[in-house]
């Protein structure tokens, strides 16, 4: 049950952190609030960051893309800066998060900071080498998104605030596809896979395979990535794709629960990884970007 004593608005990221630390009692940040309404926490006050200036989307002159933590998932599906990056892979992932009312309220930062193993936006962002920007009262820190999660519902944040994530320009030139397996369109993910492939001189470079909902935290399948690196993508890659998919399945650590068994999840990692790699290879051969389901 909610038992709030105070509702505070922050005017900047630094102000938000200061208000959270001010006390008294336990406080939490709130943006869209979709998950907080479903699972009311035991806290004395909340700090609303919707006015803290962290909802912007911006591209740098070098082509890097910055996504503010308070940007709604719906905004990510429609903004040209996002739809034009990596073939719209980020927009595609956002468009498959919940339903339209949820996407209109839920934020990128909320999806990541809840730190569910099945966080829908994590795999595609990890596959695109996302960097997190984290605010303290007097400085900011940046870390790779793949290092942001420390366990189910746990992150490196502590009492700091996620300001946003940045995607490097070179990631925008990769072909990237993502897919998730659910029991229904709005259900929590059983398995998530994102694949991004770069190229250099006719060979695969900057291979990224990210997995979600199949380990305590979203992760990269590093051994599977290595198996594909430097592959001549104009050749017959059937065996290499199958091998990489099998390796990725061995790198995950799924659980069995009422939604699916660990064996099923592991098998679906193999299936989805193989399909997405093959689709990305087709995109490369056609000179496209991908991003579609």
Three-point CA angle 129, 132, 175, nearest 5°: 20
Task: Report residue 118 as tokens.
Answer: 């099945």
The alpha carbon torsion through 17, 154, 189, 135 (nearest 10 deg) reads: 30
Query: Residue 76 and residue 65: Cα distance in Å, rounded?
Result: 12
Neighbours of 104 (CB within 10 A): 14
For residue 290, the model assigns a pLDDT of 56
**pTM score of the predicted model:** 0.95
Query: Residue 88 and residue 90: Cα distance in Å, rounded?
Result: 6
Sheet with 219-220, strands from edge to edge, namely 175-181, 191-200, 203-212, 219-220
Query: Residue 49 and residue 11: Cα distance in Å, rounded?
Result: 8
Residue-wise pLDDT for 61-119, tens only, equals 999 999 999 999 999 999 999 999 999 999 999 999 988 999 999 999 999 999 999 99
Which is nearest to 206 in space by CA: 185, 181, 245, 233? 233
- Classify residue 199 by burial, with Cβ atoms within 10 Å: 0-12, 13-18, 19+: middle
Give all domains of the chain, ordered by start, each with its CATH number: 6-48 (no CATH), 57-170 (3.30.465.10), 175-285 (3.30.390.50)
For residue 186, the model assigns a pLDDT of 72
> pLDDT-based confidence at 188, cuts 50/70/90?
confident
From 11-25, 40-54, 63-77, 198-212, the region with the lowest mean pLDDT: 40-54
Q: Mean pLDDT throughout 222-234?
A: 97
> pLDDT-based confidence at 187, cuts 50/70/90?
confident
Tell me the three-class secondary structure of 65-100, residue by residue: EEEECCCEHHHHHHCHHHHCCHHHHHHHHHHCCCCH
For residue 183, the model assigns a pLDDT of 84
Mean pLDDT, the chain, rounded, equals: 94
The percentage of residues in the chain with a pLDDT greater than 70, rounded to a whole number, is 96
Long-range CB contact pairs, 182-188, < 8 A, 24+: 183/259, 185/96, 185/99, 186/98, 186/99, 186/102, 188/116, 188/118, 188/213, 188/259
Query: Residue 92 and residue 89: Cα distance in Å, rounded?
Result: 5
Task: Report residue 81 as tokens.
Answer: 């800066």
């Amino acid at each position: 049950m909610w038992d709030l004593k105070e509702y505070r608005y922050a005017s900047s990221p630094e102000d938000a952190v200061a208000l959270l630390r001010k006390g008294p009692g336990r406080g939490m940040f709130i943006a869209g609030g979709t998950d907080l309404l479903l699972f009311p926490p035991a806290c004395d006050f909340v700090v609303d960051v919707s006015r803290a200036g962290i909802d912007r989307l911006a591209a740098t002159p070098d082509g890097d893309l910055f996504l503010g933590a308070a940007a709604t998932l719906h905004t990510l599906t429609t903004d040209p800066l996002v739809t034009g990056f990596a073939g719209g892979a980020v927009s595609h992932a956002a468009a498959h998060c919940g339903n339209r009312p949820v996407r209109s309220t839920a934020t990128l930062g909320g999806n990541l900071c809840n730190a569910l193993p099945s966080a829908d936006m994590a795999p595609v962002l990890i596959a695109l080498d996302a960097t997190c920007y984290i605010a303290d009262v007097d400085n900011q820190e940046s870390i790779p998104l793949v290092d942001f999660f420390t366990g189910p519902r746990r992150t490196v944040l502590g009492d700091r605030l996620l300001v946003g994530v940045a995607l490097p320009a070179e990631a925008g030139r990769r072909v990237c596809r993502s897919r998730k397996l659910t029991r229904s369109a709005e259900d929590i993910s059983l398995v998530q896979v994102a694949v991004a492939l770069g190229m250099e001189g006719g060979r695969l470079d900057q291979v990224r395979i990210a997995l979600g909902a199949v380990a305590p935290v979203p992760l990269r399948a590093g051994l599977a990535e290595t198996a594909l690196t430097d592959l001549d993508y104009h050749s017959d890659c059937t065996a290499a794709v199958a091998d990489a998919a099998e390796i990725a399945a061995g790198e995950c650590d799924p659980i069995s629960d009422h939604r699916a068994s660990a064996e099923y999840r592991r098998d679906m990692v193999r299936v989805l990884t193989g399909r997405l790699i093959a689709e990305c290879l087709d995109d490369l051969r056609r000179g496209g970007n991908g991003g579609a389901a």
